[in-house]
Structure 1
Amino acid sequence: MDYETRLQEIRAEIAGACLRVGRDPEDVRIVAVTKYIDTEQTENVVRAGLTDLGENRLQVALPKMEGMAADVQERVRWHYIGNLQTKKVKDVLPRFDWIHSVDRLSLAEEIQKRAAAIGRPIPCLVQVNVSGEESKSGFAPGEVPAFLQAAREMDFVEIRGFMTMAPVSQDPEEARPVFRGLRELRDEMIARGLLPQTSRELSMGMSGDYVVAVEEGATMVRLGSVLVK
C-alpha cells in the first residue's frame, strides 16, 4: 500500500468537502484506525504523515506500541476508540492520549480516579447514540446534559466534545442526519453553558461516510479500510 498517495487522495476529498461548506481543512484531523494492520505497516502509516492512531482493543494495540521504532512512537497520539470496560481503564489510560468512548457515568468516574492517580488529565469525548440504535453504545441525546453537569466535578476528565457512530449503510447520505444531530447537540450544550466554548471536537465519520461527516462539522474522522487496506 502506498500510504502517502492514498493520504493525499483522502486529504483532497476532505479539502473539497470543506470548500463546499466554508471550513478550513486544517480543522479536520484524520485518526488512522490501525487494528487490521501489523506493526511495520503502522509505522509506514506514521511515516506517511498520520500521527493520530486509533485502536479499539488494548491487546491489539500493545504489540504495536511496544514494537515500534522509538523515533516513530514518539510522534504518535494514541486514540482509544472502542467500548471501554471499567476494569480496563487502569491499563488503558497510561498508554492512550485520548478516549473517544465515554458512554456512562461510571466509566467517567473510573477515568477520573485512575487519571488522578497518574497525575494526567485525560482528553475525553462523550459517546452519543444519536441514531437510537439498540446495538450502539452511548448516551441518548436527552441524557447528555445531566452527564455534563456531573462531569464538571471531575477535574481529570477533560470533556473535549462528542463522538458518534452512524448506522451502517451503502448510502453515505443516510448518515447525514446523525452527524448533523451531533453537531447541533454540541452547539446547544455550548449555548447552555454545559460545555466550554473550546470543547468543540466532533469525532464522527468512518471510511464509508467521512466526506458527509466533514460537511456536517466533523473535526476527527476515523479511517480504517479506506486508508490502510
Structure 2
Amino acid sequence: MDDITIVAVTKTVDVDRINEAISYGISDIGENKVQEIQCKYEKIVPNTKWHMIGHLQSNKVKYIIDKVHLIHSLDRVSLAKEIQKRAEEHDICVDTLVQVNIAEEDSKFGLRKEEVIPFIETIKDFNRIRVKGLMTIAPYVENPEEVRFVFRDLKNMFEDIKEFKFSNVDMKYLSMGMTNDFEVALEEGANMIRIGTGIFGKRTYKED
C-alpha cells in the first residue's frame, strides 16, 4: 500500500478529530465544499495536503487556489479558465484531476468518456494548470462488483491518455474508490482512494 494515497474525506468532521487522524499518519484530507476548507484551513496541522474533491464552482476558485494540493473535479472549460486566471494572480501552478462520469449518471458531475480527450486538447495550453490524472465516482451499489467496469474503463482511459503525451498532462493519479468499493477500485488500478466513513464512521449530514 506504500504507493497508494489515502485521502481522508473530512466532510462535517470537526477539526480535533481531523488533527487526531493526522497524528495517526493521515497526510491528505479531502473536502467537498470550499466553505469547509476556508473554516478549517488555519486550524489543521501545517503541511497537511488539502484536496478539493467536490464540485467546484468557478466563482469560489479564488478562495482555495493557494490552499489546495490537488483539485479532483476539473470538468469544464469555464472552470479551467478561472483556475488559470487565479493561478496567474498568485504566480503558481495548480495540479488537477479531470473528473469523468464513466457511468453517465445524471446526478453526478464530470465529463463523459468521449469528451475527455477533446477537453484536454482544449486546455493543453493553459500553462498554469497541470493535469495529473483522472477521477471518477462510481454509482453506489450494495455489491461493488457491479461497478468494477467503471474502474476498469477509467484505468483504460488513463493508460490511453498517457500515449498522447500532452504537454501539460502527467498521468500520475487515478483517483477512484471510496469506503464501500475501494477494494475493487484498487484491484482495477486505483492509486488514490477517498475514504470517509471507513476512517471517521458514519455521519449525519445536515441539509443545506
* Structure-1-length-normalised TM-score: 0.84
**Aligned residue type for 1:120:** I
How far, CA to CA, are the matches of 1:80 and 1:126 in structure 2? 12
Q: 2:173, 2:191 within 8 Å by CA — same for their partners in 1?
A: yes
Where is the helix percentage greater, Structure 1 or Structure 2? 1
Instruction: Give 1:200's aligned residue.
Output: 172
Percent pairwise identity: 40
Describe the SS at the equivalent of 1:101. strand
* 187-196 vs 122-131, which moves further: 187-196
Describe the SS at the equivalent of 1:217. coil
**Aligned residue type for 1:36:** T
Describe the SS at the equivalent of 2:30. strand
* 59-68 vs 46-55, which moves further: 59-68
1:9-45 deviations in whole A, cap 9, x for unaligned? xxxxxxxxxxxxxxxx222100000113101000001
Counterparts of residues 68-147 of structure 1 (less than 5 Å): 68=44, 72=45, 74-147=46-119
> Once the 2 structures are TM-superposed, how far is the Cα of residue 189 of structure 1 from its aligned partner?
1.3
User: Which one of 44, 58, 62 corresponds to residue 34 of structure 2?
Assistant: 58
Q: 2:124, 2:168 within 8 Å by CA — same for their partners in 1?
A: no
> Once the 2 structures are TM-superposed, how far is the Cα of residue 83 of structure 1 from its aligned partner?
0.2
**Aligned residue type for 2:89:** A
**Aligned residue type for 2:174:** L
Instruction: Give 2:129's aligned residue.
Output: 157
Aligned residues: 201
Query: Compared with structure 1, are the counterparts of its residues 138 and 76 closer, same or farther at alpha carbon in structure 2 (3 Å cutoff)?
Result: same
**Aligned residue type for 1:58:** V
> Once the 2 structures are TM-superposed, how far is the Cα of residue 200 of structure 1 from its aligned partner?
2.6
Q: Could you tell me which runs of 5 or more consecutive residues in structure 1 were left unpaired when the two chains were aligned.
A: 1-24
How far, CA to CA, are the matches of 2:3 and 2:69 in structure 1? 19
How far, CA to CA, are the matches of 1:67 and 1:57 in structure 2? 16
User: Which one of 174, 177, 182 corresponds to residue 146 of structure 2?
Assistant: 174
How far, CA to CA, are the matches of 2:153 and 2:105 in structure 1? 14
Describe the SS at the equivalent of 1:26. coil
Alignment of 1:45 with 2:17, yes or no, is no
**Aligned residue type for 2:72:** H
1:131-183 deviations in whole A, cap 9, x for unaligned? 01111111111011111111210111110010000001011111210001001
1:181-227 deviations in whole A, cap 9, x for unaligned? 00101111112334778423111000100011111111110000011
> Once the 2 structures are TM-superposed, how far is the Cα of residue 61 of structure 1 from its aligned partner?
2.5
Q: 1:102, 1:125 within 8 Å by CA — same for their partners in 2?
A: yes
1:95-126 deviations in whole A, cap 9, x for unaligned? 21210000111101110111111011011000
How far, CA to CA, are the matches of 1:200 and 1:137 in structure 2? 22
Q: Could you tell me which runs of 5 or more consecutive residues in structure 2 were left unpaired when the two chains were aligned.
A: 202-208
Describe the SS at the equivalent of 2:130. strand
Q: 2:37, 2:64 within 8 Å by CA — same for their partners in 1?
A: no
> What is the root-mean-square deviation in Å for CA atoms of aligned residues?
1.4
* Structure-2-length-normalised TM-score: 0.92
